[in-house]
A and B are shown apart, each in its own frame.
Chain A
């Protein structure tokens, strides 16, 4: 019951945040959603299929998979959050703000003249 509540509240908060326009809010929203998924994975472990995770409470080993899943999921969501924040940082550099739906960015469908300007030039001058 308590894990259901935790997952529900986290998902609600995360969903609200990812519907916002700023990239930082979206990143925070995905952090919450990631926590919701982690909590759900742990809750999914249960004790119905394998033993309980307390020493001395039984002969059967506890279910190691949910912990492994949760750890993997945490690492992945950590990496993604870092990437999203980098995007926010870069768009503050490039646009002056982190608003995704900024209409001042040209919607030109044609091929810009300086198409490849950024490839291998700016961050890696030695290449």
Chain B
């Protein structure tokens, strides 16, 4: 089992290489990319089984002496995230295929490289490798963002690259400083250094701040809403499910190992979490396009995700993991639904949309259910996660923080209702009535081809393609309700993962023995 741990990192890289070779055969590209992802999902599910009860698995790559080798390790937390991110990525790639967004010969190779970086960052037990995995992930994302090559993409690309590159440099410097202080980058040896040695605390602080930029914590969030909305819809969905979430996962891992749950910095983390929640949700109010609103909510939700780091109790971490796992799928589904709306109607501006529930009722479901989960309305999985999280905050005596989380949820619901109102209720607008049937690339309709304008369902995208566009979000919508009604299993898994994070002894034993 343990040697298979390299596969989630190696297979996407192999798939990327093959799909560069087969760049003129889209079907071959798709086959290898999906195969790599499916293998990762199967492996992830098996890893979840293998890491029950606080167990962990690890493998060292190459026959290097201990302390020099590259170690990959997984505990319950990593296994859960691996499975979730791989599943959401598969949906996003299927959506990209339906949209024709993967027609660019470099789309799938880049997505594969991105996935390799993501899985590598989740599985590595070595700080320098963490940096390398981040770079692999980010380099692919730089290019994916700028792939469309328009003027606005270039501008967003420059902002995104500059901010993330600065964060990466800070991460590298932080890791260098930590290495200078401790003489190692292996997590097994670094346990608790930041809680005991002031110099190491400073170095680990640099690392945490750098990862915080990638997780888009306030006040380092400004790049995200500006950059994400300019990418293609499938790319935004892919980014939303992966990039910031890997940042959060790294923050959890570093708090667990480097700081060993040291309570000194908890007030600061709680303040950042609260600020992130509030600033993100207020920023969303000012936007009038679907993905713009969703991008600001992404910032806001990161606040919920880092809240458990400041509380660091069993209940809070369990809630945090449940919330993180379901949120990755929910946010991905929301962006996929938004992408479907944009693909079908050609616009994401709320002012030009309306009445889509008459033409595309399933899409309304596919957006509505994840939107309810984002706001935390029962019977969705978001309700379970938020209830546990807010309960944990109240239990830890942080009444103000719990109240903030509740209030932010109301504002989130408000934003979701705003989108739903704008897109699905109301009168059917011109954009909704006349769907863009021109084909996946939005090629112009030849002159002289008349388009019927009278009836309500005049020109619709052909049913098969529409189903492919809508199905991914509906699938997640159904899963969200199923998980919401039967959350006991997920909570149990998350509880075990939380225990392993609170006391990483077993994880680190396995890492140092690898």
Please name all residues of chain B whose beta carbon is closer than 8 Å to the beta carbon of A50 when the two chains form the complex: 183
- Which A15-34 residues have a C-beta within 8 angstroms of B? 18, 23, 26, 30, 33-34
- The residue from B68, B103, B152, B165 contacting A30, defined by CB atoms under 8 A apart: B165
A120 touches B289 (CB 8 A): no
Judged by a CB distance under 8 angstroms, whether B449 is at the interface is no
Q: Name the CB-closest residue of A to B346.
A: A111
Judged by a CB distance under 8 angstroms, whether A106 is at the interface is yes
Q: Name the CB-closest residue of B to A114.
A: B442
Given the interface pairs A40-B176, A83-B139, the reply to whether A126 lies near B24 with Cβ below 8 Å is yes
Judged by a CB distance under 8 angstroms, whether A54 is at the interface is no
Please name all residues of chain A whose beta carbon is closer than 8 Å to the beta carbon of B159 when the two chains form the complex: 100
- The residue from A46, A111, A112, A127 contacting B180, defined by CB atoms under 8 A apart: A46
B104 touches A91 (CB 8 A): no
- Which A54-91 residues have a C-beta within 8 angstroms of B? 64-66, 69, 72-73, 76, 79-80, 83-84, 87, 90-91
A44 touches B169 (CB 8 A): no
The complex places the Cα of A26 from the Cα of B166 at a distance, in Å, of 10
A119 touches B172 (CB 8 A): no
Interface centre among B146, B154, B176, B289 (most CB of A within 10 A): B176
- The residue from A30, A44, A111, A124 contacting B176, defined by CB atoms under 8 A apart: A44
Provide the main secondary structure of the chain B interface. helix
Judged by a CB distance under 8 angstroms, whether A43 is at the interface is yes
Interface size class of B (residues with CB under 8 A): 35 or more
Judged by a CB distance under 8 angstroms, whether B23 is at the interface is yes
Please name all residues of chain B whose beta carbon is closer than 8 Å to the beta carbon of A44 when the two chains form the complex: 176-177, 179-180
Q: Name the CB-closest residue of B to A105.
A: B151
The complex places the Cα of A80 from the Cα of B146 at a distance, in Å, of 14
> What 1/0 flags go to B113-151 for Cβ under 8 Å of A?
000000000000000100010010001001100111111
Please name all residues of chain A whose beta carbon is closer than 8 Å to the beta carbon of B177 when the two chains form the complex: 40, 44
Judged by a CB distance under 8 angstroms, whether A48 is at the interface is yes
Please name all residues of chain A whose beta carbon is closer than 8 Å to the beta carbon of B172 when the two chains form the complex: 37, 41, 73
Given the interface pairs A73-B172, A105-B155, the reply to whether A18 lies near B179 with Cβ below 8 Å is no
Please name all residues of chain A whose beta carbon is closer than 8 Å to the beta carbon of B139 when the two chains form the complex: 76, 79-80, 83
- The residue from A90, A105, A106 contacting B149, defined by CB atoms under 8 A apart: A90
B165 touches A80 (CB 8 A): yes
The complex places the Cα of A18 from the Cα of B348 at a distance, in Å, of 33
Rounded to whole Å, the gap between the CB of A83 and the closest CB of chain B is 6
Given the interface pairs A18-B166, A37-B169, A124-B105, the reply to whether A43 lies near B232 with Cβ below 8 Å is no
The complex places the Cα of A61 from the Cα of B112 at a distance, in Å, of 38
Q: Name the CB-closest residue of B to A7.
A: B173
Judged by a CB distance under 8 angstroms, whether A94 is at the interface is yes
The complex places the Cα of A40 from the Cα of B162 at a distance, in Å, of 21
A110 touches B349 (CB 8 A): yes
> What 1/0 flags go to B406-426 for Cβ under 8 Å of A?
000000000000000000000
B162 touches A72 (CB 8 A): no
The complex places the Cα of A84 from the Cα of B347 at a distance, in Å, of 30
B179 touches A41 (CB 8 A): yes
B185 touches A119 (CB 8 A): no
The complex places the Cα of A83 from the Cα of B104 at a distance, in Å, of 18
- Which A95-115 residues have a C-beta within 8 angstroms of B? 95, 100, 102, 105-106, 109-115
Given the interface pairs A91-B154, A111-B347, the reply to whether A119 lies near B441 with Cβ below 8 Å is yes
The complex places the Cα of A30 from the Cα of B166 at a distance, in Å, of 8
A119 touches B147 (CB 8 A): yes
- The residue from A33, A91, A110 contacting B158, defined by CB atoms under 8 A apart: A91
Given the interface pairs A118-B150, A120-B105, the reply to whether A72 lies near B143 with Cβ below 8 Å is no
Please name all residues of chain A whose beta carbon is closer than 8 Å to the beta carbon of B260 when the two chains form the complex: none
B442 touches A106 (CB 8 A): no
Q: Name the CB-closest residue of A to B142.
A: A83
Rounded to whole Å, the gap between the CB of B152 and the closest CB of chain A is 6
The complex places the Cα of A72 from the Cα of B289 at a distance, in Å, of 41
> What 1/0 flags go to B89-101 for Cβ under 8 Å of A?
0000000000011
> What 1/0 flags go to B270-300 for Cβ under 8 Å of A?
0000000000000000011100100000000
A100 touches B158 (CB 8 A): yes
Judged by a CB distance under 8 angstroms, whether B382 is at the interface is no
- The residue from B176, B185, B346 contacting A113, defined by CB atoms under 8 A apart: B346
Please name all residues of chain B whose beta carbon is closer than 8 Å to the beta carbon of A83 when the two chains form the complex: 139, 142-143, 161
Q: Name the CB-closest residue of B to A112.
A: B150
Please name all residues of chain B whose beta carbon is closer than 8 Å to the beta carbon of A65 when the two chains form the complex: 68, 128, 179, 185
Given the interface pairs A80-B165, A120-B104, the reply to whether A87 lies near B157 with Cβ below 8 Å is yes
A120 touches B165 (CB 8 A): no
B183 touches A49 (CB 8 A): yes
A33 touches B169 (CB 8 A): yes
The complex places the Cα of A115 from the Cα of B236 at a distance, in Å, of 14
List of 3 A-B pairs having minimum Cβ-Cβ separation, nearest first: A44-B180, A49-B183, A110-B349
* Contact surface of A with B, Cβ cutoff 8 Å: 18, 23, 26, 30, 33-34, 36-37, 40-41, 43-46, 48-50, 64-66, 69, 72-73, 76, 79-80, 83-84, 87, 90-91, 94-95, 100, 102, 105-106, 109-122, 124, 126-127
Between-chain CB contacts (< 8 Å), 30 pairs: A23-B158, A26-B162, A30-B165, A36-B169, A41-B179, A46-B183, A49-B183, A49-B184, A65-B179, A69-B128, A84-B165, A87-B146, A87-B161, A91-B154, A94-B149, A95-B151, A100-B158, A100-B159, A109-B289, A109-B349, A110-B348, A111-B342, A111-B346, A111-B348, A114-B442, A118-B150, A119-B103, A120-B103, A120-B105, A121-B441
